[in-house]
């Protein structure tokens, strides 16, 4: 459980008699009246200094209390950025308060700022020692980064529904499973969290991500819609909902969502690209161009921008112009079958049938891989019985350019069967290309191959 903030301590008083008379002056003794006056002056000064110090401490005490209240309010409103700002101020005012560092560490972790969280947790333990809550926080820090090891199992076994931090544990578990591409477990964590806290938008948003990744686009839209209902200004949920609507071929409502996001953040690149895609789908390709211009001003090589420019050129019946944009898009994301398909269409539109046919085969291979990957991911369950599906999925993910996911899936295979040779061989191959060589050697040895 989080540390409760300690009450700000009252300002220390100045020790009495510290500046008392008779402390060894070298001159002649003053007359008694003069001595009394001096003592009175000194006493008054001491009182003034004491009052000033007390005032200063008191002001800090009030500022810290205000910051603490602001932190509480920001956390209740799920505004982690604002909470972080107030926490920075609070620990500046109360650097010895372990509760402030603890909350700062937790908030930084929840924001995904793991190094910062680690530092804050160190300061917390320096100030208040290692406690059960800090041990739990260290576990959550590891879990949320996808370093699940045995920790997730331990947490699931020990943190029951009545534990005061169960929601934070489920949040960290969900994030960790998402980071490790363990979709079934991420879904379970989100479902449990939703059950405990149905008015919290995040488990709905993340459930949407999971459904989207598993190819359940309609269900993803339902989850995102719920998150938007709960917090209408939630940018991520609204953008995700719009994205799903575009995928579900409903450009008009998607455009409304993107426009709402852009009303608050006019340069949001994802919303700009999304709105541009809606305009192309609506047959208003010309209106897409200035939106893409705005978004690409920040990131001229963004995949979405390149693909959209190609689509606009195609709508203008300029396949030659489109070809260049699609080639750059494919270079940027070679594992995206849609961009590759659009390149094929642009080639075909120019009569470049031979290259179009060659690339069509690549599209088909890629789609076959992605279809199989989707099937495997949907069937992989949290149980430890079989490493083969994870291995196959990992190999496919690496082949289609999804390195992080591929490595995650291969490690999931090893979690199920540590001596799965084919998986070690696949990881050896991967690390040989991407480094570090020591890992390549290690997996090569474990694969048992020369």
Chosen residue from 36, 316, 404, 445 binding another protein by CB under 8 A: 316
User: To the nearest whole angstrom, how small is the minimum distance from the Cβ of residue 56 to another protein?
Assistant: 59
Task: Verify binding: residue 320, another protein, rule CB under 8 A.
Answer: no
Task: Verify binding: residue 203, another protein, rule CB under 8 A.
Answer: no
Nearer to another protein, 337 or 406 (CB): 337
Task: Verify binding: residue 252, another protein, rule CB under 8 A.
Answer: yes
CA atoms within 13 A on the CB side of 191: 8
Chosen residue from 91, 228, 285, 292 binding another protein by CB under 8 A: 285
Binding mask 355-394 for another protein (x = CB under 8 A): -xx--x--xx--x---------------------------
User: To the nearest whole angstrom, how small is the minimum distance from the Cβ of residue 278 to another protein?
Assistant: 9
The long-range contacts involving 47-56, CB below 8 angstroms and separated by at least 24 positions, are 49/14, 50/13, 50/14, 53/11, 53/12, 53/14, 54/11, 54/13, 56/11
Give DSSP secondary structure letters for 309-359: HHHHHHHTT-HHHHHHHHHHHHHH-TT-HHHHHHHHHHHHHTT-HHHHHHH
Which span sits near another protein by CB under 8 A: 157-165, 339-347, 391-399, 417-425? 339-347
Number of residues that bind another protein (CB under 8 A): 39
**Closest by CA position to 93, among listed 121, 120, 62:** 62
On the 0-12 / 13-18 / 19+ scale of CB atoms within 10 A, 220 is: buried
Inter-CA distances, 56 with 10, 11, 53, 59, 270, Å: 11, 8, 5, 5, 48
Q: Which residue has tokens 């608050």?
A: 264
CA angle 56, 62, 64 (to 5 degrees): 100
Task: Verify binding: residue 229, another protein, rule CB under 8 A.
Answer: no
Which span sits near another protein by CB under 8 A: 155-163, 178-186, 230-238, 249-257? 249-257
Task: Verify binding: residue 333, another protein, rule CB under 8 A.
Answer: no
Task: Verify binding: residue 195, another protein, rule CB under 8 A.
Answer: no
Which residues lie near another protein (CB under 8 A)?
Answer: 217-219, 221-222, 225, 247-253, 280-285, 314-317, 337-338, 340-342, 344-345, 348-349, 353, 356-357, 360, 363-364, 367
């Amino acid at each position: 459980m989080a540390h409760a903030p300690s009450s700000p301590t009252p300002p220390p008083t100045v020790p009495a008699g510290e500046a008392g008379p008779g402390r060894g002056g070298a001159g002649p003794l003053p007359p008694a009246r003069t001595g009394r006056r001096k003592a009175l002056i000194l006493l008054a000064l001491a009182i003034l200094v004491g009052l000033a110090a007390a005032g200063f401490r008191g002001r800090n005490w009030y500022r810290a209390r205000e910051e603490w209240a602001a932190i509480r309010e920001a956390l209740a409103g799920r505004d982690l950025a604002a909470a972080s700002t107030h926490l920075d101020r609070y620990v500046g005012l109360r650097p010895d308060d372990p509760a402030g560092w603890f909350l700062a560490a937790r908030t930084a972790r929840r924001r995904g700022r793991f190094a910062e969280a680690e530092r804050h947790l160190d300061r917390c333990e320096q100030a208040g020692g290692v406690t059960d809550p800090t041990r739990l926080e260290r576990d959550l820090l590891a879990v949320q980064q996808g370093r699940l090891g045995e920790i997730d199992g331990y947490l699931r076994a020990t943190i029951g529904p009545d534990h005061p931090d169960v929601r934070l544990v489920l949040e960290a578990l969900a994030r960790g499973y998402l980071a490790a591409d363990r979709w079934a477990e991420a879904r379970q964590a989100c479902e449990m969290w939703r059950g405990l806290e149905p008015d919290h938008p995040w488990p709905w948003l993340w459930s949407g991500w999971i459904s989207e990744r598993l190819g359940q686009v309609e269900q993803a839209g339902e989850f995102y819609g719920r998150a938007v209902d709960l917090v209408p200004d939630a940018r991520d949920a609204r953008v995700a909902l719009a994205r799903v609507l575009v995928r579900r071929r409903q450009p008009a409502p998607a455009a409304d969502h993107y426009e709402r996001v852009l009303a608050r953040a006019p340069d949001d690149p994802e919303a700009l690209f999304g709105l541009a895609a809606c305009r192309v789908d609506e047959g208003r390709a010309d209106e897409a161009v200035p939106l893409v211009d705005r978004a690409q001003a920040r990131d001229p090589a963004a995949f979405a921008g390149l693909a959209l420019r190609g689509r606009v050129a195609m709508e203008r019946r300029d396949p030659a112009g489109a070809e260049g944009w699609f080639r750059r898009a494919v270079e940027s994301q070679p594992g995206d079958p849609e961009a590759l398909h659009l390149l094929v269409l642009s080639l075909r539109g120019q009569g470049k049938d031979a290259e179009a046919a060659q690339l069509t085969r690549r599209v088909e291979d890629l789609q076959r891989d992605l279809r199989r990957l989707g099937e495997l991911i949907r069937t992989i369950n949290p149980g430890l019985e079989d490493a083969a599906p994870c291995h196959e999925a990992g190999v496919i993910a690496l082949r289609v350019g999804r390195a992080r996911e591929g490595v995650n899936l291969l490690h999931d295979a090893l979690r199920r069967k540590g001596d799965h040779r084919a998986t070690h061989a696949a990881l050896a191959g991967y690390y040989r290309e991407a480094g570090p060589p020591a890992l390549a050697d290690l997996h090569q040895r474990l694969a048992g191959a020369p």
